[in-house]
Structure 1
Amino acid sequence: MRHGRDSLLMTCRLPLAALLWIPLVLPSIAYAQKALPDLNELAEETLELLNLSRQEAGLNSLSQNKALSMLATRHSQEQAARGRISHYSYEFGLSTERRILISYPNLGRLAENVARNRSVKLLHEALLRSEGHRRNRMDPQFTHVGVGLARANSIALYLTEIFVAAPKGRGLGEPVAFYFDASPGSYEQGDGPLVELGTQVITVGRPGPDDPEHWTVKGIDAYQSGDLQTAKQFFQTSLRLAPDYRFAKYNLARVLLETGVPGDAAILLDELLKDDPSDLVAMATRGNAAILLEDFKAAEKIFRDVLVHRLNDAASWYDLGLALEYQDRLVEAELAYRQALHVDPKLAPAQIGLARVTRH
């Protein structure tokens, strides 16, 4: 994502993630993989490493939620069976948001990381090096996590992490249902795209052309193939159908930044922040837009505000250093770059920035 970024396509506030969307129903037998004895232990190890990193950053530990872990495990199993990382469930035709909200329809904030590597340690290190994935893992607003792993073979380990913020003053409670309680065919769009799960009647199925998610999905697909202009058109179509659809608005802003239109991106990001001033992902992206617009004082202020909430965000320390460097405040820029490298010693842009401001 969220960020570049195969990570997390989340609901209203995720970085542009590696979501690959094509209608495909695989035989259910493909997912009946035998759980290896070590998968539960590996999930526990993943959670321990995650919470240790949060504690070191001065953040609360996340509570593991059994239902979220079931959702995460099921999605990891699907990815392992397909041999492909995706936030989208091709078997059921459901996005991250739909899969999770079927279980917990009242959530206001959620995110998902997906990744593949050879070990839990390598997964953990890679996720922390990726800006979008790291921000999901270090988000101070999240309270609960689900962790699920699956193997495609002896060396390919698939991980899904689901992050949610429980409603204030209440816990998560019991899940209403699980998306996999219904058969995959139940989610095909047809005459009656409704499925009864538990106490909930859910409208499901691949979103049609009158649904903004349909065009957002196509936009992400185009983005992943490198066709940014087509991605832009699809996100714009989504917003014509639903002008306040945060998911499409954020992803369009990311594409606009990458295609050299930071002014238009800034307008969209300002709208997102007006609606939700606590959206730190949108805030950091707005800081990137300010740098591209050469409004370095504004960028400095934005990243300082972000760092109040994300003190151990190496990417934001780097971006702050860049904003300071462009103002010829080289001593302060050096300190910011050093702080970025203190948090993440392998952050190459910060290494280059530090060399640049200290070479004289």
Structure 2
Amino acid sequence: MSSSQYPSVLPQELLVEILSRVPVKDLMRFRCISTWWNHLVFDPSFVKLHLQRSSRDTHILLTFRDYENDESRYCAAPCSTQNLIHNPSSTIDVCHRFNHDCTILGVCNGLVCLQDSYRGDEFEEYWVRFWNPSTRVMSDDSPHIRIRSSHYKYPYLFMFGFGYDDWSGTYQVVFLDNKSQKMEVRVYSLGETCWRNILTCDAFPTLSVHGAYVCGSVNWLALPRSSSRYRWETVTINELEIFSYDLNNERCSYLSMPDGLSEVPPDVPVLEVLKGCLCLSHHQGTHFVVWLMREFGAAKSWTLLLNVNYEDLRIRVLHGLPTLPVILCWSENDNVVLLASYDSAEFILYNMRDNRIEHHELFNDDKFYFFSYDYVESLVLPRLN
């Protein structure tokens, strides 16, 4: 780091060490002090040091769709785990509302990956951009991917996922292109000018909406042993697996379902990330069940986190199954989970140790599709210097 216009009598190394513990919002304001301060905030080595310090804090990025003025837009609300647990309704009132009708693919090291699209009569186009909520810096659009729907048979599932390769230090978007009898895996890295074809394998239905990023890999619920004529009602338990793409090695593998999942749930399970671990939630009879893979890639590390009757959650089951609740966060120390139920339009704070509801709050039913991501405030630039 250059020492020109260095504005302190403190040793430079000591000042850098102190500032690496300062919140991003304050550091952004400090940029106007001098050229040295402005340079420091976006210096790659300082950005990395600050990220290492910040990653010790526990935060959540809560995302949801908000229907307002006859328009539905994605919203994002950074918050601490404790604030979300104790004040979920007030948390969603303070959020960023996107101007474009984009989709959030994932969050990593403080960067949010947004997917946008255009749908014409004969083709569809998809592209991504990166956004840092802390610095409010947005990248330019990535190269576009054009897809012709006529080239696909139902379900023509092409899926995206977002992650970080710590070996190369690159943020990558993975695109699974399931067409014909083969599936192509393509990757776009932040700062590159094209999508790279990485590998090709036999096509199969992928069930997750977006890939879940854990330990340098992006993961989708999939049916690699199923025929192309996919219907969930005919799926058997031995067909259900997790397709995992390793960003570093550029290889794919398959992860097993929990041993305790002895039969196929009535609806497709949800695969997400909770406190840095793969998380699988699903219906099981009259119960809501949540599994956690505590050690990534180790099938024996699947742990039953939650198995609760819908009546205990005060979610009424009238005709068929309720909408699957969404697990937003988990406080391991307090042994509580925060859930969002669309059927009752409320947040539910459930005590797993005492098997009781500690608190519940109603939310406006014009807010839906709640989702949460592990989040850390960072200085990471969503574009190259």
Relative to the length of structure 1, the TM-score reads 0.31
Indicate the structure with greater strand content.
2
Q: Which has the larger radius of gyration?
A: 2
